[in-house]
Structure 1
């Protein structure tokens, strides 16, 4: 299959440098379909989602974002790393790119960013896919991953950890996946990651949902405990239009565990099957 990768680029949006990778473009059948912005999780620079961007780019004009404080986007000790700022980034990015119609596909933290952005009902945002988003928040059970897992692995990455050494943190990943994580994890600003992790427990994700008026998909991993059956029921109560898909044989990092199942789970929700 011919690569759909076009280029990586930076753009000034919401007052910061936002870096993204673009796949696909607007030619052919993609011209009649909504663009897609992919928003990765808490310690996933855009490049680590490049293989997903490649597949999406076959069908859609696709942009994989470096969330502020990750990858090549802006990071600093004074930058606002709140959920509101991250959501505003996505809306501003779409406006700066001139996207008239676009969907957001957000994994984990990216799903919460997408929901906060969609709750503001921005012009042009047509669909939202939340891939295994944390459902923790005030008065709710804690997010199952622990902060030291992130902080320790980032520290070691800054010191120059190899892919094989990174295996202790991600034992089921392939050599290629480990190499990318070992190469790029050091670009995640520890302050950004800590702020986002704390936000998993202080931001009220569920309060955003009743304001969502667009079609929404929740993608659930069959393994792990980020999304439990009772969570699905609660989310369906808050979002009557919610479409639920489930990926078997996959933990929280769904496309890493079952890539084919991940693509299949979208069906034609975005306008064309993957």
Structure 2
């Protein structure tokens, strides 16, 4: 077994809140990973381990998740989350960085890129929800998130968690059961509502950095017509498919996830024996 690339977890005050992150690798180009709606940074550790072999990797706890700040008064909107990432990079004096965002994290990345922050050089959008005003709704339902969070706050077994994630491995279920209670319910509801209220399509023409869109073949989130529209809005958009994965791509097809990056980030993520 290869030695871990995990370095440490830490907190930084940026954009007026406590932001928690995990760091892997410590060498090479900087990659910032922004997870999805109910994915604290710890649940992306297995991905960050691979990234850490080639990149100085930071995985964020988005506000209201994991060990980052949460409160009854905190703004959980898309603009605030995007500003968090910009402030995080500035607070840590990160050099040029590449952002990999999954689902909610991809929408945060789009809004961030619209702001044209100093240092952002590349953007990877992993199966972003393409819902918005007047558009097809996001296929997941809000009770799926809220019900599981409420159970997790009381203490949930991996067997009960399997009812929500039936295809996941026991290890994956155990990690989600351990960390899901850290997701603030109001943060999740605000983000879910934002999937249908925030217009990320209006942001895309203002994205100036090279961008890769990763599409889950079995996710049901991005349809062929969505790909065409996104490519029209951002003509330089590169698109990679992971045909055997659902929306949680690295959970469903981890090696397919890494292969989909190709050389976009400047270094292939596939194992030498996975070619």
The alignment yields a C-alpha RMSD, in angstroms, of 0.5
1:145 aligns with 2:145: no
Return the TM-score normalized by structure 1. Answer: 0.97
Corresponding position of 1:174: 169
What are the Cα deviations for residues 125-150 of structure 1, in whole angstroms up to 9, with x where unaligned?
00000000000000001000000000
Distance 2:230 2:181 in 1: 35
Corresponding position of 2:35: 40
2:117 pairs, out of 114, 122, 126, with: 122
Corresponding position of 2:156: 161
Distance 2:54 2:238 in 1: 21
What secondary structure is seen at the aligned counterpart in 2 of 1:64?
strand
Distance 2:95 2:165 in 1: 38
**C-alpha deviation, 1:100, in angstroms:** 1.6
What secondary structure is seen at the aligned counterpart in 1 of 2:209?
coil
Residue pairs, 1:217-256, within 5 angstroms? 217-256=212-251
Corresponding position of 1:6: 7
What secondary structure is seen at the aligned counterpart in 2 of 1:44?
coil
Distance 1:135 1:205 in 2: 8
Distance 1:179 1:60 in 2: 27
Return the TM-score normalized by structure 2. Answer: 0.97
Distance 1:69 1:96 in 2: 19
Distance 1:193 1:12 in 2: 22
Corresponding position of 1:63: 58
Residue pairs, 1:253-264, within 5 angstroms? 253-264=248-259
Corresponding position of 2:23: 22
**C-alpha deviation, 1:2, in angstroms:** 1.6
What are the Cα deviations for residues 201-252 of structure 1, in whole angstroms up to 9, with x where unaligned?
0000101100001100000001021000100000000001100000021000
1:183 pairs, out of 158, 167, 178, with: 178
What secondary structure is seen at the aligned counterpart in 1 of 2:146?
helix
Distance 1:91 1:55 in 2: 24
1:103 aligns with 2:104: no
Corresponding position of 2:272: none
Distance 2:250 2:38 in 1: 15
1:202 aligns with 2:203: no
What are the Cα deviations for residues 94-151 of structure 1, in whole angstroms up to 9, with x where unaligned?
1111112001100000000000001110011000000000000000010000000000
**C-alpha deviation, 1:164, in angstroms:** 1.3
Gaps of 5+ in 1: none
For this pair of structures, how many residues does the alignment match? Answer: 268
